[in-house]
Amino acid sequence: MTILSELLTRAMQQHQAGHLPEAERLYRDVLQQQPDQANALYLLGLLAHQVGNLAGAIALYQQALAAQPNYLEAHNNLGAALQQQGDLTAAIAHYQTVLRLNPENPNANINLGVALQKQGSLEAAIARYQKAIRLNSSLPEGHSNLGHALKERGDFEQAIAHYRTALRLAPGDAEAHRNLAEALEEQGWTDEAIALLDHAITLHPDNIQLQGSRLRAKLIAGDLRDGFAEYDPWRLARSTRSFTQPTWDGSELNGASILLYAEPGSGFGDAIQYIRYAPLVAQRGGRVIVECEEPLLRLFETVQGIDTLVSAGSLLPAFDVQASVLSLPYLFTTTLETVPAIVPYLYAAPKRDAETGTLSAPGDALHSQSRLPLQVGIVWGGDPNHLNDHERSCPLELVRIFCHTPGVTFYSLQKGPHSVESLSEVHDLPIQHWGNRLNDFADTAAAIATLDLIISVDTAVAHLAGAMAKPVWVLLSYAADWRWLKQRQDSPWYPTAQLFRQPRPHDWTNVCAQVAQALAHLVKSQ
């Protein structure tokens, strides 16, 4: 063994032992003596990849390939790093190079399948996963990824079968448990899903994802009491918000002041849904202070029981106890039967002219023209920053299915990046655009007050319309948020809501066809 190869062997031993700084030093010693040593370049890239330095890893993998163009592992890992950066086209090219050099490589087939699936080539991805399984049926990754793709295609029976195989091959793997449990829950087999998650949590008691999946399964099944009882401590233990004042336990306040706050990362819809508890908190005999985001301030002025409103980030007044708004369902021991669903609890406040002081009815400035038979507000997109926005938002082009219904005039209440879609020349949809006039949720409430019906995907506007007791049709993805429960067309939270659900993943066409039929019936019945 040469001195150089001995040095590389020592570096690899340190790397395998987890002594990364020492391994890096030794790899660099090798490269000082031989700058184009392909193995050292690749392994140093692998080390950078492991610690999250993607740019450094990519550069080192590329150097290794410059020194040894057919280096399979370097092509494969370079593809993985490029995929993490979002460059799917370049990643696919490197995976294809691996398969050109070694067509029987199951891992490269799996990696190529993942990239193709993310690119939207679902059937091509399924073919790659199936080939990987033919090459090596004992790889749990092949079965789990095939399960993901089959579930996306709507083939739940086969997806669950492959998830079961993946779990059998890796019985201690937390992700294998979660994949199977979530597929079972989505099919309505909640008891089996919860039992599986209970077992997984005994193996991985600190796994946040497993705990979150169990909470969702309980809540979506309608077990609000136990679900909220688990959700509250689980969520608060991971909150970035802390106070010196004690957390309220739900007991009588006896004149004490209480701060209700929105947790960082929670959405406007959460705040709108749970502010219904503010009057109940006030009934416990305290002075209620609510901290909320600026766009909600004027809207929440219409909520009974709130003494003081504070914009998030502002200096807080003195208070004795505090509670997250998201904790209120737990603190009031909420069940399906006891949801405080008396609506409206939010209102469109009258506007006051800044110069004359004259009050005007909500929405007058927006809606001055004569009314047609049915006036409908519409929102097709949610918050693009939401992790599931690609699932929750409906493509605007599919709105065409129902937006030409005779006797209906549509008004867009859409805000944010999705509103730009409606301005494209591609969409010749008969929708009047109000979004640029809506500066906060009080403006949106004023617009909603003038309309007969709101049609919205799962976003804050749907919650606002329901809180105002306005008829609202909520368009839901197949794996909808827990608060809409399972297989229901109504909501215990919003009595005026009607739910339109995807019968299979990504099937917005069916949802929009349901809406078109319901709209035609509504117009005919007027």
Whether residue 525 has pLDDT greater than 80:
yes
Whether residue 351 has pLDDT greater than 70:
no
Q: Is residue 373 located within the same domain as residue 445? A: yes
Give the number of domains in the chain.
2
Q: Is residue 296 located within the same domain as residue 384? A: no
Q: Which of 289, 312, 331 is the last residue of a domain?
A: 331
In this structure, what CATH number is given to the domain that contains residue 381? 3.40.50.2000
Task: Kindly report, residue by residue over 166-213, the tens digit of the pLDDT.
Answer: 999 999 999 999 999 999 998 889 999 999 999 999 999 999 999 999
Q: Identify the CA nearest to 348 among candidates 366, 358, 363.
A: 363
Q: What is the pLDDT of residue 214?
A: 94
Would you say residue 444 lies in a domain?
A: yes
Q: How confident is the model at residue 371 (pLDDT cuts 50, 70, 90)?
A: low
Q: Is residue 323 located within the same domain as residue 380? A: no
Would you say residue 498 lies in a domain?
A: yes
What is the rounded distance in angstroms from the CA atom of residue 128 to the CA atom of residue 148? 13
Most confident of 117-126, 262-271, 351-360: 117-126
Whether residue 366 has pLDDT greater than 60:
no
Q: Is residue 396 located within the same domain as residue 470? A: yes
Helix (H, G, I), strand (E, B) or coil at 492: coil
Whether residue 350 has pLDDT greater than 80:
no
CA distances from 113 to 38, 126, 149, 246, 263 (A): 27, 7, 9, 51, 38
Q: What is the pLDDT of residue 427?
A: 59
Q: Is residue 318 located within the same domain as residue 369? A: no
In this structure, what CATH number is given to the domain that contains residue 307? 3.40.50
Q: Is residue 324 located within the same domain as residue 375? A: no
Task: Kindly report, residue by residue over 245-260, the tens digit of the pLDDT.
Answer: 999 999 999 999 999 9
Whether residue 43 has pLDDT greater than 50:
yes
Q: What is the pLDDT of residue 357?
A: 43
Q: Which of 314, 331, 348 is the last residue of a domain?
A: 331
In one-letter notation, the amino acid at residue 295 is P
Q: Is residue 296 located within the same domain as residue 363? A: no
Residues 362, 368, 369, 373: what is their CA dihedral angle, to the nearest 10 degrees?
10
Q: Is residue 326 located within the same domain as residue 366? A: no
Q: How confident is the model at residue 370 (pLDDT cuts 50, 70, 90)?
A: very low
Q: Is residue 495 located within the same domain as residue 372? A: yes
Would you say residue 69 lies in a domain?
A: no
Are 516 and 166 in contact, with CB atoms under 8 Å apart? no
Task: Kindly report, residue by residue over 152-165, the tens digit of the pLDDT.
Answer: 998 999 999 999 99
CA distances from 505 to 391, 397, 418, 514 (A): 9, 18, 21, 16
Q: How confident is the model at residue 421 (pLDDT cuts 50, 70, 90)?
A: low
Q: Phi then psi for 433, rounded to 5 degrees? A: -100, 115
Task: Kindly report, residue by residue over 52-76, the tens digit of the pLDDT.
Answer: 999 999 999 999 999 999 999 999 9
Would you say residue 9 lies in a domain?
A: no
Q: What is the pLDDT of residue 435?
A: 87
From 300-309, 417-426, 465-474, the region with the lowest mean pLDDT: 417-426
Task: Kindly report, residue by residue over 441-472, the tens digit of the pLDDT.
Answer: 999 999 999 999 999 999 999 999 999 999 99
More reliable by pLDDT, 435 or 126: 126
Task: Kindly report, residue by residue over 14-37, the tens digit of the pLDDT.
Answer: 999 999 999 999 999 999 999 999
Helix (H, G, I), strand (E, B) or coil at 290: strand
Would you say residue 60 lies in a domain?
A: no
Q: Identify the CA nearest to 185 among candidates 153, 151, 233, 225.
A: 151
Whether residue 137 has pLDDT greater than 60:
yes
Q: Which of 280, 312, 331 is the last residue of a domain?
A: 331
Q: Is residue 370 located within the same domain as residue 455? A: yes
Would you say residue 36 lies in a domain?
A: no
Q: Is residue 323 located within the same domain as residue 457? A: no
Q: What is the pLDDT of residue 459?
A: 95
Q: What is the pLDDT of residue 354?
A: 47
**Average confidence (pLDDT) over 265-279:** 94
Would you say residue 383 lies in a domain?
A: yes
Task: Kindly report, residue by residue over 481-506, the tens digit of the pLDDT.
Answer: 999 998 899 999 999 999 999 998 88
Q: How confident is the model at residue 420 (pLDDT cuts 50, 70, 90)?
A: low
Task: Kindly report, residue by residue over 397-412, the tens digit of the pLDDT.
Answer: 899 999 999 999 999 9
Q: Is residue 387 located within the same domain as residue 482? A: yes
Average pLDDT over the chain, rounded to an integer: 91
The whole domain housing 517 covers 359-525
Q: What is the pLDDT of residue 146?
A: 98
Q: Beta-carbon neighbour count of residue 354 at 10 Å? A: 6
Whether residue 436 has pLDDT greater than 90:
no
Would you say residue 343 lies in a domain?
A: no
